[in-house]
Amino acid sequence: MTKAVESTDIGPAGRRIDAGGIDTNYHEFGEGFPLILLHGSGAGVTGWENWHGVMHDLAKQYRVIVPDIVGFGLTSIPDGIELNIKIWVRHLIDLMDALNIQKAALVGNSFGGALALATSMRHGDRVERMVLMGTPAGDFVRADNAGSSWHYEPSLENMGKLLRHFPYDPSWVTEDMVRQRYETSLKTDSTLAYRKLFPEPSKTNEPKVIHGIPEERLDSIQTPVLVLHGREDKMVPVECGWRIASRCANADLHVFSKCGHWVQIERRTSFIKLTVDFLTSLQHQSVGKGAVL
């Protein structure tokens, strides 16, 4: 049952709901067909931090849900749960059930994109469409270990250094962004969750192979997909976007020049337009805020 805590623009704390036994933090805005925005990974990440710059624009046409997936943000890991992709998919489906959402469109950034793909593979009947940004797919090499949250030690200076690896232009990283993520990193499990996703970086800064969604599994996805990727993404190379677009049967790809890992921030206006245009062909019509015909 949802607690009466309203979402605001001032920070990551939103409403709370029991999703399959997990006390889940989330934000909700707007009415219409459900659109779930899935955050990335890393120290101090939250759904609000990833999406607050675009969620109100999208809520003009859709029922927008912005959760903190278990182990990230303000959704803590319950005792006895070992984090893995099956748990994350289960949490997302349980959240949809708790919010009376039978089918939704998923918008995923990085880890959120991988979660959207995995959910579509296992529960294709629950996913109408997907918009994926900076999403890992197949094996790739990431040599720049300075961008890793693996050994992050909480401080404003360390958070600033970490975040400036994400965009093409480091000036996108503001003092407010650094402070917000630093403060969140002091009270969340996100570093532990990150370590479940990525191997420990080499101490000699040697290239490290990262394993994304296996390429051959992408062949089974029939869900329509819009792939958005920054050409200069240092976290997840643009080749991963091409793999998704070339192997998913119903996928389109848009590559942004002079853009890093944060398409929704670095190319905000284009991201909103491309996403809304892609979703406008949805045939489902929402009834109220929960039931869908």
Segment (H or E) for 166: none
Residue 3 is assigned to a structural domain of this protein: no
Report d(CA 64, CA 111) in Å as an integer. Answer: 19
User: Which candidate in 7, 68, 76, 233 is catalytic?
Assistant: 233
Question: Cβ(83)–Cβ(221) under 8 Å?
Answer: no
The separation between CA 12 and the C-alpha centre of its own chain, rounded to angstroms, equals 15
Give the pair of three-digit tokens for residue 230. 């920054």
Instruction: Provide the number of structural domains found in the chain.
Output: 1
Asked whether residue 287 is domain-assigned, the answer is no
Kindly report, residue by residue over 227-271, the tens digit of the pLDDT. 999 999 999 999 999 999 999 999 999 999 999 999 999 999 999
The model's confidence at residue 81, banded by pLDDT at 50, 70 and 90, is confident
- Which residues lie closer than 8 Å to 181 by C-beta, 6 or more apart? 43, 44, 45, 49, 159, 163
**CA 50/CA 29 separation, integer angstroms:** 15
Inside any domain, residue 292 = no
57 is catalytic: no
Q: Catalytic one among 7, 41, 76, 110?
A: 110
CATH number at residue 47: 3.40.50.1820
The answer to whether residue 232 is domain-embedded is yes
pTM across the whole model: 0.89
Active-site annotation holder among 27, 52, 91, 261:
261
Each residue of 171-225: pLDDT tens digit? 999 999 999 999 988 877 666 666 666 666 666 666 777 878 888 999 999 999 9
Boundaries of domain holding 266: 15-282
The set of residues, in sequence order, having a beta carbon less than 8 Å from that of 103 and lying 6+ positions away, is 34, 125, 126, 127, 128, 284, 292
Q: Is residue 85 part of a domain?
A: yes
Is 277 one of the catalytic residues? no
Average pLDDT over residues 155-180: 93
The rounded distance, in Å, linking the Cα atoms of 267 and 257 is 10
For residue 110, indicate whether it is catalytic. Answer: yes
Is the residue at 6 inside a domain? no
